[in-house]
Each structure stands twice: as structure tokens, then as C-alpha cells.
Structure 1
């Protein structure tokens, strides 16, 4: 995908990533921390994470096309390098969202079953704690990475693209 309605696709697709990654991260943490939230979200959580995952390489590919069609610049190169690092975070969001959804489904089925006498009920606790910690780490990493990428992209796009002085007769509104 290179152009959408005559505009570089990257500048439009990037808005998906900027919204979806933090939204997915927030939903993931909520589901990891609260079983009730996980049950309420149901399959929406992994579907949201999948859409987020798919949007990242689409945006990156569109960005690579745009990179070849703009003036070679160190800021653009820095932005492209940072952008290449988002896919592992998006993959982590998806994997954890799928895991939490799947274990939530299993827990719902197990809730209706009697607790085994051998204490197997408690064996899920370490997995749940690990999922919470991993979700917090991956969510924070993904959001920070999106911020860093967006900041570098804004600097690359606007570093010489505006004037400190107003062009509307000298008045600032």
C-alpha cells in the first residue's frame, strides 16, 4: 500500500497504530489484572490485538515506501529504525492477549467444575501472576515505543516545516 486518496498511506495508517497500540495495551492490562474484565472483553481482546498486529507491518511497509520518496535525512532514518522495532511489541501484545483470552475461557469452564482434591486449583496462580507481570511489561514497552517512534516521526516531518513567526499578519490566535 503506497497511496490513499493521493496521500502517502503511511501518514494515514500511522493513526491506526497510534490509537490501537495504547488501546490494546490498556485492554490487555485490564484483562490480565481483572478476570471480570477479561470475561467481559471475551474474544474482542485477541481480535483487537490481531488488528493491532496487522496494522504495524502495513504501516511500516508504507513508511518504507515513503522513506524512498523523501529527501534523505538523518531524522527520517532514525524514525525508520525506531519503527522497525515495534513489531515484536505488537506480537507480544497479541500473544499475551490470546493467552489471557484462552486461559479465561478455560477458567470459566473450570469454575463450574468441582475443585480437585490434589490442589490443582492453585497451580494456575503462578501462571496468572506471570501473565500480569508480562502484560504490564509488554504494554508499557509498546506504548513507550509508539511514543518514541511518533516523536521521531514528528521531528522528521516538521523540523524545518514551520516558522516561529505567524504568517497571518503577525497575530497569534
Structure 2
């Protein structure tokens, strides 16, 4: 996918990644610490994580197409391209967290026995992956905005 209605696809698709990744991360962290939220939101978190995992390579591919159209690359554009390659790891991490939480929910709904080890592992995983995903998206997005619009780092 290269363009949508004459606009570079990357410029449009990236908005989905920028919105859905932090939303998924925050909901996963919420579900990790609040069982009532997990009971209500676990399937939404899984659906969002699948969406991010599907949207990420499409967005990255569209970005590579746009990057390869340029004859010369600025240092910040090269940095953005390098950082953009990180996104698939965040997307897969969020998907793993969502799957772990779905399994956790499924096990909890079929037993009255507490699963403390699973709860702790799921919570640590959600925080580490969630926070790193949010930070990563901000870093990737900032370098992209700086490359496109000349936004200075402060």
C-alpha cells in the first residue's frame, strides 16, 4: 500500500498506530491490576492488540516506500526509519500481553482458586511492555515529526 486517495499511506496509517498502541498499553496495564476491568475489557484489549499487530507492518511498509522515494535522507529521517523498525517488537509484545491476560481471564473464570504467580507475571509483563510501547511510539513519532516538520528537540 503506497497511497490512499493520493496521500502517502504512511501519513494516514501512522495515526492508527499512534492512537491504538498507547490505548492498548494503558488498557492492558489497567486489566493487569484491576480484575473487574479485566473481566470487562480483556477481549477488547486482545482485539486492539491484534489490530496494532496487523497495522504495524502495513504502516512500516508504507513508510519504507516513502523513505525509498527520497533521493537524500537527513540524519533525523534515517533515525526515524531505524526507530520505526522497533515498532513491530512493541506490537508483538502487546499481543503477547493480551494473550496472557486472555488466558488469565479464562483460567480465573473456570476456577475459584487464585492464580497469584500468573497474576504477578501478567502484571509485570503488562507494565514493562506497556510503558516501553508508549515510550517507543513517542520516540518514533517525535523523530518522524521532526523529520517532516523540523520540530526541534528540547
* Partner of residue 77, structure 1: 78
Aligned to 2:11: 11
* Counterpart position of 1:140: 131
Of 127-136 and 70-79, the range deviating more from structure 2: 70-79
User: How far off its partner does 1:93 sit?
Assistant: 0.6
The SS at the match of 1:43 is: helix
Task: Provide the C-alpha distance between the structure 2 equivalents of 1:78 and 1:28, rounded to a whole number of angstroms.
Answer: 29
Partner of 2:109: 108
Larger Rg: 1
CA distance in 2, matches of 1:130, 1:81: 30
CA RMSD of aligned residues (A): 1.3
Distance 2:117 2:143 in 1: 39
Q: Give the match for residue 166 of structure 1.
A: none
1:86 — aligned with what? 87
Task: Work out the CA distance in 2 between the residues paired with 1:19 and 1:43.
Answer: 18
Counting matched residue pairs gives 150
Q: Which runs of 5+ in 2 are unaligned?
A: none
Q: What TM-score do you get using the length of structure 2 for normalisation?
A: 0.93
Report which of the two has the higher share of helix: 2
In the TM superposition, residue 141 of structure 1 has moved relative to its aligned partner by: 0.2
TM-score norm. by structure 1 comes to: 0.83
Q: Deviation of residue 148 (structure 1)?
A: 0.3
| Runs ≥4 residues deviating over 4 A | none
